[in-house]
Structures are given as C-alpha cells and as structure tokens.
Amino acid sequence: MKFQKFAAYITGIQAALLVSIYFDIPLIRQILGFFYLALIPGLVLLFCLRLDKRNTVLVSLLYTTGLSLAFLMFSGIIINYALPVIGIEKPLTTYPIFFSISILILVLLFCSRRKDMALPFNIKITLEMRMHIPITIFLVSLPILSVAGTILLNNTGNNVLLILLLVLIIIFSISTVFLRNTIPAWVYPVAIFTIGISLLFMHSLNTPHLVGYDIHGEYHVFRLTDLNSLWSPYLEEGVYRNNIYAYITCISITILPVIFHVITGISPEYIFKLIFVSFFSIIPLAVFRIARYNFDKYTSFLSALFFIILGYFHTQLPMVPRQGIAFIFFSLLILALFDNKISHLKRRVLFVVFVFSAIMAHYSTAIVMFIVLTAFFILNAPGIKSRPDSSDRIRGNTIILIGISLFAWQVYTEGVLLNLLNLMKNFFLHLSEFLEPETKGTTVLSLIGMQAGDPVVRMGFYIGTLTRIFIVVGTLFVFLRWRDLKIKRDFVLLQLIGLAILFLVVITPYVSKGYNAERVYLQTLIFLAPSFVIGGLKVIDMLRVKGKEIGYGIVVLILVFHFAFQAGLIYQFVGIQQSVALAREGEMYNRLYVHEQDIESAKWLGNIAREKPIFTDANGQDILTSYGMLPNARIWAVKKDMELFGNPYIYLRYSNVVNGKITLRGSVDSNLSDTNIPYMLGLDITDKVFDNGGSMVYRMRFQPFLETAGI
C-alpha cells in the first residue's frame, strides 16, 4: 500500500470519528472510537519501527494493541501537563484529547513515510480455512453465547446459557486431544481468544454495575480525574485511606479510561466492564506466542488454555483493571524479549516501551517485573558459563534504567514506597515465623488447604494442588533436559526465576498479606504455563502410562476438572453458591452484587454528607466510594459492640435491608452475618432519613465521642 493511500485512510477515519463525536451518533461513535484508539496509534508506531513485515499476524496484532495502549498513556500525560501551559485549563476533555491525539498520530505517520507500507493484518482466506468454517462458527459463537447468557441472567436469574457455555468449552477442550493432528495452526489463537473473552465477559457483564473490591476504589480515581478533567497524583492529606493514594498514581485507571470515555462516549462503568476487559483477552494470546518460541503448537495451546481457566484470570482480573492493563504490558515485554524475528535494536525499543508502560500502569506488577528482569540479567551476566543461545537480551544499563525509573515514578507520584518499606519491615521482624499461618495471606492459606472445609471445596483444592505439582515438576524437568528438549536456556532460567518467586511469596512472612499471592502466580504463569503441560506429561510417564495421546488426554481431563471448579460449575451443581456469575443467591451474591437502590442512596448520601462520618458494612464502603464518590477515610465499617461518633449517617445497602445480611470486617477476612445493622446498632425508625425500598440511610444525632474515635 502506498503512503498516500494509507494516510488518506487515517485522515478519513479521523474525520468520520470527529463527525460522530460532534453529532454523538450512536454505535458509530462507540465502535469507530474504540477501534481508532485500540489499533491506529499502534499500527502507525509499527510502521515507524519498520515492523509491519517482520512478524506473523498474531504477533503484529499483539504489538499493535500494546503500542496503542502505551501511546495513549504517554500522550495522555503530555496532554495533561502541556495544554494547561497554553491556557487550556481542562485538558482531559473531548476535543483537546481528540485533536491532540490525532495530531500526534499524523506526526508519527509522516515520520513513518515510505513507498511501500504493508498492512500486517492482511489475512488471506485459503481453501483450508473454508474447510474449517464450522469450527470457526462454533468458536465465534462462544462470546455471543456469553453475552446472551449474562443478559438472560441479569433479567430473569436463569443461568442455563452460561452453564451451556462452560460445558461447550469443556467439550471443545477434550475434543482437541483427538483432533490435535488435524486442527490447523490458525485455529488455536482463535480458540484462545474466543474462550478467553467469553469467560471474561461472563464475569464482567454478569451484573449491570461494578463487581469486586479494588475496582470501586479504581473507579473513584477514574471518575475523579474525569470530573476534574485533569489528573494529579496528589490528593489532600487525611481524606483518603492508603489504597486510594496508591490508585491515583496508576495512569491505567486515571488518564487511560478518561481517554476512552470522552472519545467513545461509552458510560464510565462500561469502560472498565467492557472495553478494558476486551483488552485483557490478548494476554492469553501472548502466553500462547511466548510458549511457541520453545514448544509445539498443541503444548502452547494447552498452556494458554490453562492460563485462561484459572479463576484469577477470568473472575478476578476484571475486578482489578489496573493490574489487567499492567499484565498486558508485562506479557508483551516478555514476548518482545524472546522475539528473534526482529533486530536487537527494535526488540529493545519495544521492550523499553512496554516496561515503562507497566511502571505507570500498576506499582506492584512493576515491582515483580523488576525482580524478574533483574534476576534474569544476573543469571545471564557475563562470566556465568557460556550462553550459546543467549542474544544479550538485557544489559546492565537497562536494569539500572528500569530501577531508577520505577523509583523516580513512585517518588514523583508519592506512590507505594512507604507501604513497601512497611512490608519489608514486617518481613525482617517476623522472619523466624515463616511457618505461622498468621503471617500468611488468605490466598496462601487456601493454597495449602487451610480454608477448604467442605468436601467438595477440598476436592477442588486437591486438583489445584495437582496442577501446581505439575508446574514444579515441569520446570525442574525442563531445567535438567533443556538441551534434549531444544529449549532456549534463557527461557529455562526465566521459568526457574518464576518458580523461585512463587516459593518465596508462599513461605515469606507477611509478603502474601501485603500482596495477593494469586496475582504473583498469574503474572509468573505468563511464562510458566508450559510447565503445567510438560510436568503433567512427565508425571504420567513416571506412572508408567505409555502413549502421548493418553498423556495429553489425562492432562486435558485434569485441566477441565480444574476449570469446572474454578468457574464454579461443580459448586453450582452441588448447591454451593460461590459465583456471582452463575447465581443470584449465596454468600458472594450478598457480598458483591450492587443493586440500583444501592447506587441511588449512595449518590444521595454523596451529595449531602461529605463532611460527616458514615457507617456501613464492609461492602457498603465500596459502593459509597465508587458511586457516592465519597472520600473513603470518612467511611467506617461497622463492627459488633463498636461506638459510633460524630453524628454519623448509617448506610444500609440492599443485602442489609432485604436479605438481612451484613459483611463484617474482620482481622483476616470479611464474614457475612445474619445480624441486621439497625438492630445491632440500636437504631430507631425515627432516625431514618432516606428509604427507596431497597436501601436506607439513618442519621444518629448525639454528641461525638471524639476521644474514643481517636480524631
């Protein structure tokens, strides 16, 4: 394609988007705006780096998406600080963002100018593809079934379509064992994408509103940036608790969602629930491609499938958008690190872009990333045994630059350095207590079976333990036999580093309390996932089970059983309601589901009670933070026998009023109680100031116990 033709396409898209924004044309603005932001900046950057002809369609698409997100974050920071200098006091609004981004894209387009510009997404429909149309239709139908299932569940409470979705995924996974020699290579990425996005949609769209814990605080800083039309990492002292001060430093949940919101016109909730979750579906594709550098296509497919079926990916990741965006960059920097189809210089450029993007996206993911890369550099450092397959992937100056950048960003934004220092302090003070359960987070306790009381839950624990045994065995086997298996030594070392980090997180006192071990597990699985397959095959071989077909079959059966537990399917069948995605009752429903009445009362309270303390249950705090836009330092979680203070408001959400359930904040976790808040606190009907039939607000009037409260 000639440059003039490509430039005409870009400017035409920009003009069409501008018209759709000006007239707010439904669907066109949303669809065109999404694809413009998600693909065009990255595509232009791909041309600038002369990478349009260098790689496969899949890798080009992954780089394009990652570069687009990185471009939007970096350009958003430039817009935020540069436009006020020239008199635009609210830079993060529709037209300043649109014109600034469009001009930057045109400048990059001019810099990439050359005679022949080949689109990397030029897919030719072959006879083989036509022969496999039925399987393509089946795979494409999965996301449609997922969306239809969430709509049916939201409107009627019927989960039959979602159950069908999970069953079809299981059937397809098992069928690949018998069809692996006949399935063409292009089917695997399609399957990974459609299965991944189906499960993500199943959990992100299963309610009309936000679901989760962290996401409410993340939504608060997003809306704060959006309402101010300006991002600042500095918030007033004492108004918020520590998590909000940390969240505001993440460009991934402040500037980035604002850009998508003002350009596409999509509601703020669905920027997180739909747009961001759609981006998360490329992470398993990166896992697949990373595995393909060293393993065959079917092993790589099972590696990505194992990554997808983990509950933290499809259930928890939609609840922590900042981490999902950071995982995208982390997976892409690992992909670029081992991409030998491009020159060393271009690989380094991609690597550095994705590293800096991860730093700005999420502090904790960036710290784990720095530990991984530093250990990788040390093990590959000159003087440590010859490295026949090493390509000087990371240099010392790069590690120093990453460390300085990570530290500088945290200092500038006043990020989580204090929390990190407190975590290290607890670690050294309690180093001798590494076997004590009190020093472990709830995720680690569940990993070692200390929270699996029900027999069915314990069965799920045993299967999960088996998968982790496979990972350990696979990593060690690859380490011992990497030459025979023809696996790059660099990759083997990276896997050993990942395994060592997981081991340290599990045994080290207080680390898993400060940072969820499951998050580290998923992050390291980006390159550790193939060990599950290799380890499974090795264990089966050690048990004298002969035949690769049987070996793969057993591995897949263990995988789908693990999936059935992780997705809540087996719990649903035995009557244990553990998933909001499949049920409209049970503990997780009462804990996490946000009703319309909850939002209405939270907004009402947010307009009148910004200076007064508010008491509610543990999950009511989240709703008031996100939808009431209230500073969370003034929101207190009720406890039994506690004294209230300061003429407070009492906020009761739907589960408190209608279901009589209250989430009490404990020292380890939150626990549901049948105790009704008004009865527990001795409230009288005359204290009620708001009631919409599902949520209530009370006002207690007495002299504040300031000394008791400590304020």
CA–centroid distance for 513 within its chain: 19
The average pLDDT across 462-473 equals: 94
pLDDT category of residue 447 using cuts at 50, 70 and 90? low
* pLDDT score recorded for residue 251: 97
Residues 106 and 214: their CA atoms lie apart, in Å, by 37
The average pLDDT across 531-548 equals: 91
* pLDDT score recorded for residue 710: 35
Please report, rounded to a whole number, the percentage of residues in the chain having pLDDT higher than 90. Answer: 60
pLDDT category of residue 332 using cuts at 50, 70 and 90? very high
Query: Can you give the pTM of this predicted structure?
Result: 0.92
Structure tokens at 437: 């359960």
pLDDT category of residue 160 using cuts at 50, 70 and 90? very high
Tell me the one-letter amino acid at 218: E
Predicted confidence (pLDDT) per residue in 180-239, tens digit: 888 888 999 999 999 999 999 999 998 999 999 899 999 999 999 999 999 999 887 778
pLDDT category of residue 455 using cuts at 50, 70 and 90? confident
pLDDT of residue 702 exceeding 60: no
The average pLDDT across 121-149 equals: 83
Predicted confidence (pLDDT) per residue in 408-419, tens digit: 888 777 665 555
pLDDT of residue 707 exceeding 90: no
* 237 phi and psi angles, rounded to 5 deg: -65, 140
Residues 74 and 101: their CA atoms lie apart, in Å, by 11
* pLDDT score recorded for residue 669: 43
Distant-in-sequence, close-in-space partners of 461: CB < 8 Å, separation ≥ 6: 446, 449, 452
* Contact status, residue 187 vs residue 131, Cβ threshold 8 Å: no
Predicted confidence (pLDDT) per residue in 549-590, tens digit: 899 999 999 999 999 999 989 988 887 767 788 888 888 888
pLDDT of residue 472 exceeding 50: yes
Per mean pLDDT, which of 278-282, 480-484, 667-671 is the most reliable? 278-282
Residue from 652, 215, 601, 2 nearest 207 by CA: 215
The average pLDDT across 663-671 equals: 55
Residues 153 and 159: their CA atoms lie apart, in Å, by 5
* pLDDT score recorded for residue 708: 37
* pLDDT score recorded for residue 424: 56
* pLDDT score recorded for residue 420: 59
Q: CA dist 556 to 298, 314, 533, Å?
A: 11, 19, 9
The average pLDDT across 230-251 equals: 87
Distant-in-sequence, close-in-space partners of 115: CB < 8 Å, separation ≥ 6: 2, 3
Predicted confidence (pLDDT) per residue in 594-652, tens digit: 999 999 999 999 998 767 889 998 899 999 999 999 998 889 887 766 777 778 899 99
pLDDT category of residue 386 using cuts at 50, 70 and 90? very low
More confident residue, 675 or 33: 33
* pLDDT score recorded for residue 51: 81
* Contact status, residue 304 vs residue 284, Cβ threshold 8 Å: yes
* pLDDT score recorded for residue 113: 80
Lookup result for tokens 């800096």: 356
